[in-house]
Structure 1
Amino acid sequence: MHTPSSSPWPAVIVVAVINLAGGAILTWHYNINLNLRVGLIFMSIILLTWFYDMYKEMNTGGHNSVSSVNVRFAMVLFIASEVLFFAGFFWGYFHSCWKPEEANGAWATEEYGVVVMNPLGLPLQNTLILLGSGVCCTLAHENLLRGKYSKAGFYIYITVGLGAFFVACQAVEYISSGFSGNTSSYGTLFFLLTGFHGLHVFIGASLLILAMIRLGGSNFSEEKHVYLEAAAWYWHFVDVVWLGLYLFIYWYG
């Protein structure tokens, strides 16, 4: 039985998340973004330190088969919590769409200056980019299982590159959208859903970059690669969420 060493990071990160949420509220309502910036920096430092501690544990033999099962189970629970996170926003989206009178009638109408973007344009391109990145992520895992480490690293690199390209295209879409988060209920939920999804793409890409670094340092093998496996699960979750966004935000909207 493996008992992990005590760590302050789970408790500290709760404080960081609360600060981050409060900063987001202040930014949204009062355009005061200092707390948000501090929260993002604080969160990034904590996550990097936490990952470094886990990295040291793995390299010093602190993890065994029981630890691998625990990590997989923890990632499943984390992804389940993320599903519920997005489910709340989708619930708000459909409620405002089906009952616009409860949102002051401000849905996606030309009266409020909101024109839903053509789903066959940039949104379709973004969808193909993310689906392609999911295929590359799967190929990276498959090549690692076969002991082809250089090919696995190459496909991780391509996956991260496609993720970065997706975020860049998302920024172009925001600039060309012609409406803002304060324009209507659709505008608010559009930027909330796609913005949080973009943040998750960034997080997934960060996890894969760390996996690529560890792969280059010979920290993975055909039998021991639970970190890469968990990162791949997260990336596929990001892909599935985007498919829901594409269908409901762009087509149904």
Structure 2
Amino acid sequence: MNRAKFQFFPYHLVTPSPWPLLISFSLLNAAVGAVMYFHGYANGGNVLIIGLLSTVFAMVLWFRDVIVEGTFLGDHTSEVKKGLSMGMLLFIVSEAFAFLSVFWAFFHSSLSPAIEIGGQWPPVGITPLDPFAIPLLNTILLVSSGAFVTYGHHALIKGDRKGAIVGTFLTIVFAVIFTGLQYFEYVEAPFTFSDSVFGSAFFASTGLHGIHVIIGTIFILVGFVRLLNYHLTSDHHQGFEAAILYWHFVDIVWLFLFVAIYYWGGL
């Protein structure tokens, strides 16, 4: 005889899932492949690609399960949503400290240049990028994308479905253009990662931010697809809000990068 199951607490007891374990092994595989590739070992690139593809595969399936739990099963109660919001905030704080370490390395080297780099900043022989070319355009694009995603969020809250779709779509378009321009900037840069501490600090900071832009774009894209499929309502869009919060964090970090790395660092 089947009996209905009732719970007398507002929390979600997650069912066993294979995806965290699969992602762990996939990331380990990707890390090993990256080390092999960087050191010139045979098939290192293939191992890296397999690790990245398996990570994406596990993420898609994990996202699917969470969407089902929150949208169709009703597992995301108000208490669960509070926990999810707190988890996202703590995640962003951890990301902020990751960027803090990169900025620390940059200012440590730029405020007191060592004799090995000529005792000056930028180092001898380094031609920095023009901050008022592609970097300024990317700043406009990223800030505008933040404004559009905020517009889409408020439109969703007010029940304006068309406004929410347009604002979110423009955010994705601007994010893709930003990533394309940064790739072009990397290709045309007059220095490389191995050109003294300047090149290392530049590519480590902007590259780390670029990875976050790509991740944030995927978050927004998932929210956009769910918006098209009527998964999101004016009072139930926790994942979309988390993606927007993450995107604003990416915006703020870029403003610091533009001022510190591109403008001040190139003086």
User: Common fold, TM-score beyond 0.5?
Assistant: yes
Shift of residue 24, structure 1, vs aligned partner? 3.6
Aligned partner of 2:199 in structure 1 is: 187
- Confirm whether residue 101 of structure 1 aligns to residue 114 of structure 2: yes
Structure 2: which 5+ runs fail to align? 1-9
Among 57, 64, 73, the alignment partner of 2:77 is 64
Q: Larger Rg: 1 or 2?
A: 2
- Are positions 1:83 and 2:96 aligned together? yes
In the superposition, relative to structure 1, how do residues 84 and 29 fare at CA in structure 2: closer, same or farther (>3 Å)? farther
Are 1:122 and 2:134 counterparts?
Answer: yes
Taking every aligned residue pair, what percent have the same amino acid on both sides?
34
Measure how far apart 1:131 and its partner are: 0.2
CA RMSD of aligned residues (A): 1.9
Q: Which runs of 5+ in 1 are unaligned?
A: none
- Corresponding letter in the other structure for 2:106: Y
Amino acid at match of 2:243: A
- Alpha-carbon distance between aligned partners in 1 of 2:206 and 2:48, rounded to the nearest angstrom: 19
Q: Is the 8 A contact 2:158 2:234 kept in 1?
A: yes
Once residues 177 and 133 of structure 1 are traced to their aligned partners in structure 2, the CA distance between those partners, rounded to angstroms, is 25
1:49 maps to 61
> Shift in Å at residue 28 of structure 1?
4.0
Secondary structure at the residue paired with 1:100? coil
The equivalent residue for 1:16 is 26
Closer/same/farther in 2, CA of residues 65 and 229 from structure 1, 3 Å limit: same
Distance 1:194 1:236 in 2: 16
CA distance in 1, matches of 2:40, 2:82: 45
Change (3 A) 1:100 1:14: farther
Counterpart of 1:33 (choices 42, 45, 50) is: 45
Does 1:252 pair with 2:264? yes
Normalized against structure 2, the TM-score is what?
0.87
Q: 1:83 to 1:24 in 2, by over 3 A?
A: farther
Residue identity in the other structure for 1:221: T
Q: Is the 8 A contact 2:122 2:128 kept in 1?
A: yes
Count of equivalent residues: 250
Q: In 2, Cα distance between the equivalents of 1:249 and 1:34?
A: 34
Question: Which of 152, 160, 172 is equivalent to 1:148?
Answer: 160
Q: Is the 8 A contact 1:108 1:187 kept in 2?
A: no
SS at match of 1:224: coil
| Cα separation, partners in 2 of 1:156 and 1:51, compared to 1, 3 Å | same
CA contact under 8 A between 2:117 and 2:124: conserved in structure 1?
no
Aligned-pair CA distance for 1:13: 2.5
Residue type at the aligned position of 1:181? F
After superposition, what is the alpha-carbon deviation per residue over 1:204-228, rounded to whole angstroms, capped at 9, x for unaligned?
A: 1111111111111111111111111
1:13-49: CA deviation from partner (whole Å, max 9, x where unpaired): 3333333344444444548433432232122111111
Tell me the CA shift for residue 182 of structure 1: 1.1
Q: CA deviation at 1:123?
A: 0.7
More helix by share: 1
Larger mean Cα displacement after TM superposition, 86-95 or 146-155: 86-95
Q: Is the 8 A contact 2:117 2:123 kept in 1?
A: no
